[in-house]
Every structure is written in structure tokens, then in C-alpha cells.
């Protein structure tokens, strides 16, 4: 089903006065920009070491999907808060063709592109919260959250 959601989150709040970075994705260089901005925000939040690599990987994969399947879109990076925990919120959205079968798209090995079919399932394993909404001919929005430990 095109509107199926994969959700694993509780009620979150965003601190007052939060600013966010919006990175348009229209070329391969924009993937690098989104990854760099996300990594910088994650460092400010308090992430370190391998968590920074995980966040950069997630952003790269989501931005690459935008470019490959929709040709353009955006990655929005912001600070999230749940109780006393803080983290990074990454929203990747496009107005592309949408994903015809989300259940299949979330299975390891399934691909309609040139990849290995590990992208979205891999992203889901790397983050704490994962949500995807896709409508045919309207686009896809993936929202992920990674909480600092």
C-alpha cells in the first residue's frame, strides 16, 4: 500500500527557538553538503565517534535516494528533544513518483534501481525512530531520529 507507515516513536518536542538547516538536493554535491551540515549539527548536539559516521551515512543514503528516484527534493536537519534526551531529526522529502510498494521497499535486497536494496532497510536499522510516507505521483517523505546517548 502506498500510504503504509513504518513508525517507532513516542511524543517528541522541539526546543523553542530551534533553527533548522534545509538542504535542497538536486545534484551529487548536494549530498555532500547535506552530510556535512548534518554531521556538524550532530557534533553540536553532542554526538561523537561512530554515531557521527552513522548519521552521515543515513543522510547520504536518504539524499542519494532523492536524487536517484525523484531527481530533486530536500533534506531538513534539526534538533529534536524527547524529555531530557536530545537528538537529530532528519527529514528527506521529494515530489517524485512515490514508492508503489512500501512493504517490498523495506525488505533487504529489494530494489528498483541500481543498488543492492539495502538502503531504506539499512537506514531503519541505523536510527532510533523511522517513519516513511509515500504517495504515488506525489512523493515520499522519510523522517528519522537518532538520539544522543
Does 116 map to a domain? yes
Owning domain of residue 92? 21-147
Distance (Å, whole) CA 123 – CA 75: 15
Tens of pLDDT along the chain (149 residues) come to 343 333 334 444 444 445 689 999 999 999 999 999 999 999 989 999 999 999 999 999 999 999 999 999 999 999 999 898 999 999 999 999 999 988 888 887 766 655 544 589 999 999 999 999 999 999 999 999 999 97
Does 12 map to a domain? no
- Residue 93 phi/psi, 5° resolution? -135, 150
Distance (Å, whole) CA 68 – CA 64: 6
pLDDT at residue 144, as a whole number: 98
The number of beta carbons lying within 10 Å of the beta carbon of residue 15 is 10
Does 9 map to a domain? no
Indicate the number of domains in the chain: 1
Which residues, 6+ apart, have CB-to-CB distance to 90 below 8 Å?
A: 38, 55, 58, 59, 62, 75, 76, 77, 127, 143, 144, 145, 146
pLDDT at residue 107, as a whole number: 83
pLDDT at residue 119, as a whole number: 85
Does 69 map to a domain? yes
Q: What is the CATH number of the domain that holds 60?
A: 3.30.565.10
Does 25 map to a domain? yes
pLDDT at residue 19, as a whole number: 61
pLDDT at residue 114, as a whole number: 57
pLDDT at residue 22, as a whole number: 94
Does 13 map to a domain? no
pLDDT at residue 112, as a whole number: 62
Does 108 map to a domain? yes
Amino acid at each position: 500500500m502506498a500510504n503504509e507507515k513504518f513508525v517507532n516513536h513516542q511524543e517528541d518536542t522541539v526546543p523553542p527557538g530551534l533553527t533548522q538547516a534545509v538542504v535542497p538536493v538536486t545534484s551529487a554535491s548536494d549530498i555532500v553538503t547535506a552530510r556535512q551540515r548534518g554531521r556538524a549539527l550532530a557534533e553540536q548536539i553532542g554526538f561523537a565517534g561512530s554515531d557521527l559516521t552513522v548519521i552521515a551515512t543515513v543522510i547520504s543514503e536518504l539524499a542519494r535516494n532523492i536524487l536517484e528516484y525523484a531527481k530533486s527534493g530536500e533534506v531538513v536537519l534539526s534538533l529534536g528533544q524527547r524529555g531530557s534526551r536530545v537528538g537529530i531529526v532528519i527529514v528527506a522529502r521529494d515530489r517524485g513518483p512515490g514508492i508503489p510498494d512500501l512493504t517490498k521497499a523495506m525488505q533487504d535486497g529489494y530494489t528498483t534501481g541500481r543498488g543492492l536494496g539495502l538502503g531504506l532497510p539499512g537506514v531503519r536499522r541505523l536510527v532510533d525512530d523511522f517513519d516513511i510516507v509515500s504517495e504515488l505521483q506525489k512523493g515520499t517523505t522519510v523522517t528519522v531520529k537518532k538520539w544522543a546517548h
